[in-house]
Structure 1
């Protein structure tokens, strides 16, 4: 089909839910909502659902969200999953890829176009850089899956503009509004959807930050973000416990406010 798209279902975890890109209605906005805004502006009657929930693992997304997406019969489904799995010791990227491939096969058989994502290179991310090897293997699998099943692919690994911390929120795991804006621009480019936003640009130089200031920031991050994350892992709980999808049904979506001003 390759557009114009009349319906879009987004499934996944916190990245697709939109953390930490606050919207005007008090819920998170995120790249998926931003893309839906562009599609709604171009296509009368456009419908959108977002089933993503923060903290979800790949198996949970495949078991709970993929069947719902198939039942909704959309033109386009985005599927980004596995990031939470890769944070855990012992994650098997080969097994994960097999699970993902099965989900993609089902979505394609149902007639939907599928949008897949690689992640950002984690070498600058404190929690994930030790897992860079298995992360790279999983993302190579995703590229292969996209080729085999004829999916659209958003390669965030090659998006050097996302390697600047100004695209990320204080927890160093979730993008801020600027990061989500860049991803939305990249998605639009991959889908052939016109947008004035750009994802490829060079950040202006940053002011020098004293080493002592950086150490204080690191200690604050450990206390406010890392230790709570470790605590949830030890307790077997998730940040998504009790959280419901923000747009569980495929409903009419009106274009929101004008897109953020394009970056130079």
Structure 2
């Protein structure tokens, strides 16, 4: 059976259920982040259904997603969570431990460090504090750090929050492979890895207009009619040959909307709260 493709509206509805579960205390912050990223990356209704199948009656699934669930058990008929979700969850849970070990090794090796090593370029320097990724300058720094680390700015997709991001980088020498990295103060921990379908679309982070990106984020609450915004994130991806970035906003009353642009800042569509 061919899997039914998910739309942006389906993903947004799933995100609302994940946020509601977090507010209710049914999932913790790490689970929220991992499930949110998995929902943003999901391409089928089965993947979305798996992300909210264990959230109980409070989850208000869209009808199309609900049909994917078994009427008896409420479990996804696929019988397993999406591979993207499992990989994302593993990355989130391991990041803290990996960072702690890295810091310990760094501290222990201070005295033995080669003092003659060349100083890093501005693009390679790890920020002392988290970048403000929803500003033009912060986004440009993120792009520069991506280029410095991977030798490319070609990605499968990216989800960018105010001070952290999840980026699925396409390997420079093999576009069939991708690594999903967590970015906070630089790229941290170890990535989850996966294989991409032949001919799958990619997107160049460097092609996004930083000024248009920052302007869209700043104007989104007013344009979309969402007051007292508590959550803002940007999704950069290529959907059906349409490279774009979308700004999503929501508040504690589950009022939400999104605004989609071409990479040079031309409006493609919007979904405003009414």
TM-score of the two chains, using structure 1 as the length reference: 0.25
The structure that is helix-richer by fraction is 1
**Larger % of strand: which?**
2
By relative contact order (CA 8 Å, sep 6+), the higher-ranking structure is 1
TM-score by length of 2: 0.25
Instruction: Select the structure of larger CA radius of gyration.
Output: 2
